[in-house]
Amino acid sequence: MRVITAKYSGFCPGVMQAEKKIFREHGRHADEHIYILGYLIHNQTYIDYLSRYSVITVSDTAQVPEGSVVVVRTHGLQRQTEEELRKKFRVLDLTCPKVKKIQLLIRDYALKGFFVLITGKKDHPEVQGLVSYAEGSDVIEKHADINRFAAGFDASPPQKIFVVSQTTGDPALFTETVRIVGEKAASAGIRLESFNSICSITDMREREALKLQKEVDVTFVIGDRISSNATKLYKILAAGGQSAVFFVNSREEALAAAASERSRSGGLRWKTAQIVSSSSTPAFLEQEIAGCLEEIR
């Protein structure tokens, strides 16, 4: 079978850089463990792979010996938590430069007296981190929150407002927040500034995969079901309806999909397959699955 890999498939630049820095650190201190607080990416195969290089995923610093190297993940940490970490451990800061830029913007705007509005998910670690960089802030998770915030204006209007988004936030929610709060602010004579901080890589990958889907017989979305960005990618392509779509996370799952199609159709009619991996799928897994698909006759 001919296999085509979608453009922008696989690790995003932030995760690629994090991987590079972890292995550089491992190369410098091969006899030491490196600890990550929580999953670096949501892919169990990759977490197991890291552990073979003494890169250990833990849920709590209580499991980490003092003085060890502790990784700050790509979506960053709460400011106070990071400061506490630095007192006891050697911190390897792998916050994605795009996230770091928003953290610093929020800090600067907050220092200039702006009230910070963040569009995104309240319980997402990136948003929890962003909130910690401002004295006064609010999180807009859904449309109803925009109206709630705008309604609060009359009681206690902020002096100035700065709006940003979680990097993986919903573009429509950000645009609507800027528009609705902006109109309200303008009518009250309040200054509003915004910065569109949404990372476009996920969007670009989805668009390219949807385009390529029209040229292939089958699409394999490669990722772990625990990953929200892999699940979203699968749902978008499945809804695209242009080719058969399978969600796989191993060579065995890809082979099982081909076997089920063979028995369903009395033979395999697929000539060309697209593979597309989420931001949290390692390249070695993608290559392994591509290799096994290419061998299918």
Binding site for ligand SF4 (CB under 6 A): 12-15, 74, 96, 98-99, 167-168, 199, 201, 279
Give the nearer residue to ligand SF4 in terms of CB position, either 8 or 115. Answer: 8
List the catalytic residue out of 32, 83, 84, 126: 126
Give the nearer residue to ligand SF4 in terms of CB position, either 124 or 184. Answer: 124
Residue 220: CB minimum distance to ligand SF4, A: 22
Other CB atoms within 10 Å distance of the CB of residue 78: 15
Q: Pairing between strand 218-222 and 69-72? A: unpaired
Q: Is 6 strand, coil or helix?
A: coil
- β-pair partners for 91: 70
Active site residue 83: no
| 92/99 Cα distance (integer angstroms) | 15
Residue type (1 letter), 50 = L
The arrangement of strands across the sheet holding 244-248 comes to 2-5, 272-277, 218-222, 244-248
Give the nearer residue to ligand SF4 in terms of CB position, either 17 or 44. Answer: 17
Give the nearer residue to ligand SF4 in terms of CB position, either 76 or 158. Answer: 76
Residue 236: CB minimum distance to ligand SF4, A: 16
Residue 211: CB minimum distance to ligand SF4, A: 20
Q: Which among 243, 237, 217 has a CA at the least distance from the CA of 277?
A: 237
Residue 232: CB minimum distance to ligand SF4, A: 12
Q: Annotated active-site positions, please?
A: 126
